[in-house]
């Protein structure tokens, strides 16, 4: 059975609150709560987190302390009550609470929100199985695009064996379960540039990527990791893909993208594909 998510959306519109007003809006269950967050007031904790994360062996107490201070600054007053109420209701329903952190301000995007720490429950929000912590960007509301027939989803699963293993088989099975109960057509694609270019000619509506991502430090461009050609391609048996692809090539993306990507545990040069 697929998990059910209840969304709690946290939108931060400025690094500092106005003299009278709010710069944080929390939306949950058709209700909205406002509050204030000051990046300047938490600068020491954010800097401590960034410094600790640069160490090869960060001290857990340092991460907990800074993460707890960041948590207290974000979930203050009525925002904390909304968060605890949402957590309790979601748990009662057997659902997963999805925290959507929504901001496009560079200084706030750079904050390591993944290290928010709830000291009362002694848990990292990003590691709690009852929660899902997701970053998002504010986008203008658009009407849904009409789709004739089945929704065509191009699925590219990249699992090179020289990178940490992902549970891509489970992801593929979940996608198949959804497709079996809805008007969805899955289009599996081998994780090579040539295969992707060929698959895009089938005019998919959605591109769903399962694999590793990376960051080009020089250009600050996001990268997706593909693999070399296997002997017997099969999206449900990713272990047959031996190594990362050594080709970096730009391509056009005519469809929307839902990327489920994970960076390697430690940054290192990777031969990857790049989205232009």
Lowest-pLDDT range of 142-146, 156-160, 214-218, 248-252: 248-252
Is residue 102 within 8 A of residue 137, CB to CB? The reply is: yes
User: 11 - beta bridge partners?
Assistant: 25, 102
CA-to-CA dists, residue 214 to 121, 154, 233, 268, 274, angstroms: 32, 21, 24, 9, 10
- Tell me what pLDDT residue 203 has: 87
Lowest-pLDDT range of 59-63, 92-96, 227-231: 227-231
| Predicted confidence (pLDDT) per residue in 177-228, tens digit | 989 888 899 999 988 888 888 998 888 999 999 988 877 777 767 778 887 6
Report d(CA 211, CA 150) in Å as an integer: 25
Classify burial at 59, counting beta carbons within 10 Å of its beta carbon; exposed 0-12, middle 13-18, buried 19 or more.
exposed
Instruction: Kindly tell me if the per-residue pLDDT of 24 is higher than 90.
Output: yes
Report d(CA 23, CA 50) in Å as an integer: 24
Average pLDDT over residues 80-100: 94
Total Cβ atoms within 10 A of residue 88: 11
Average pLDDT over residues 71-87: 94
The model's pTM is 0.58
């Amino acid at each position: 059975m697929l998990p059910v998510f209840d969304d709690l959306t946290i939108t931060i519109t400025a690094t500092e609150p106005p003299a009278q007003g709010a710069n944080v809006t929390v939306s949950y269950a058709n209700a909205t709560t406002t509050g204030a967050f000051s990046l300047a007031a938490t600068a020491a904790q954010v800097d401590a987190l960034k410094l600790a994360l640069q160490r090869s062996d960060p001290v857990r107490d340092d991460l907990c302390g800074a993460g707890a201070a960041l948590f207290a600054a974000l979930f203050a007053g009525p925002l904390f009550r909304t968060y605890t109420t949402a957590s309790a209701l979601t748990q009662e329903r057997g659902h997963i609470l999805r925290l959507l952190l929504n901001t496009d301000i560079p200084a706030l995007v750079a904050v390591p929100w993944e290290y928010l720490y709830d000291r009362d429950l002694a848990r990292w929000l990003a590691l709690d199985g009852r929660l899902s912590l997701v970053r998002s960007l504010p986008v203008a509301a658009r009407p849904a695009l009409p789709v004739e027939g089945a929704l065509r989803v191009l699925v590219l699963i990249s699992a090179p064996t020289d990178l940490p293993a992902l549970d891509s088989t489970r992801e593929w099975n979940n996608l198949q379960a959804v497709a079996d109960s809805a008007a969805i057509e899955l289009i599996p694609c081998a994780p090579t540039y040539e295969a992707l270019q060929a698959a895009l000619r089938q005019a998919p509506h959605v591109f769903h990527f399962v694999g590793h991502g990376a960051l080009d430090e020089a250009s600050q461009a996001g990268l997706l990791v593909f693999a070399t050609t296997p002997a017997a391609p099969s999206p449900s048996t990713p272990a047959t893909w031996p190594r990362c692809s050594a080709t970096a090539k730009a391509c056009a993306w005519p469809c929307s993208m839902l990327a489920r990507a994970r960076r390697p545990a430690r940054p290192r040069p990777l031969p990857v594909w790049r989205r232009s």
